Chains A and B, each alone.
Chain A
């Protein structure tokens, strides 16, 4: 792809040397200029988070240049990372996200295998249904789910609302449809000869899945795992609706509801909390960018 482009450029250069080259250089310069502009637009909020997180409350309230740190301090970070409330948010978020990832993978990998390879009555309709489910936003479901869990409490005596583990039950609705959908795509791209050969060699369907499909589709599984983790880490509506006590909150809701205390100059700490809350997805993204992007684009190219 790249080589053909270069050859093409070379060919053009040979024929029309002067103006083409100048045009290209101008286009390149314009591209860089606009890219720079957009990078500034896209990175301003995270950088401003970092700037504010390094300031003391005194410096923030002094209303000096907000874009510069005059007396950098790690005070905010130390305070948050030693505060038991914040660490509780972090732990809740981590536990919920990891459990959701495990549940998602355990549900969606066998389901995707079954839907892409082993047809059964209604499997085609189910595959389409999975995709449509992915389109239903949680904003449509939180009220009936809230009511359902209130009803379940009346019926069983177990309190569901306001426990962090309720999120482990609900979050899979955010992750399973999409993960199943992209896994169907990945499994579908594995040549049929491979499973036929394995079946003839005496492998069962479970072995076929664990010995062949999972290793071959590992990049897809990693992409789906990253997706499931980032989605459950970032979820905001469900935890806001279903948990209220401080010790049950996950990070995004905890930062938004407990750190904002009206007009106190707490912004250094809020920005620190937000930045630390954004750190896990950012770190995963920094190290596994290609998988992250593969997962993102697979969903739509398959659609």
Chain B
């Protein structure tokens, strides 16, 4: 029983993600989480604003169920399968983050400076999370997929557009962490 409380090592987690993709393929669906954002926009009425959202969103019900499952999975993992929830990140990274003002580095699953409930009363914190989300949502649709659709499904299928997208993910991530973080934190 102790084993299920341990974090999953990469060499278990990676294959389990591939199995997630395979399971969906075998029931005739594609692994792609960001499509749910478009579906939710339509369900919330965005189809009245532009054609991009005019599609039968109920046909995407299966993917919304996968998404709902991902929510439940998070709940189960935290409440029933967790010992320590603190990732053992590189001590150098912990030091770097403390210099940037992330005192919670090395002692929490997520930085409390951004994901503690006190962030709801911080204009800067709300702004950062909102902008981060907007970039993720916009970029995923512009590129036609996110980490699951491009980095896992697309690259597994050796598709060049997915390789270009993943290179883009890294350019964006590196610019954010190395050039923009020092300016905003």
A and B found bound together: no
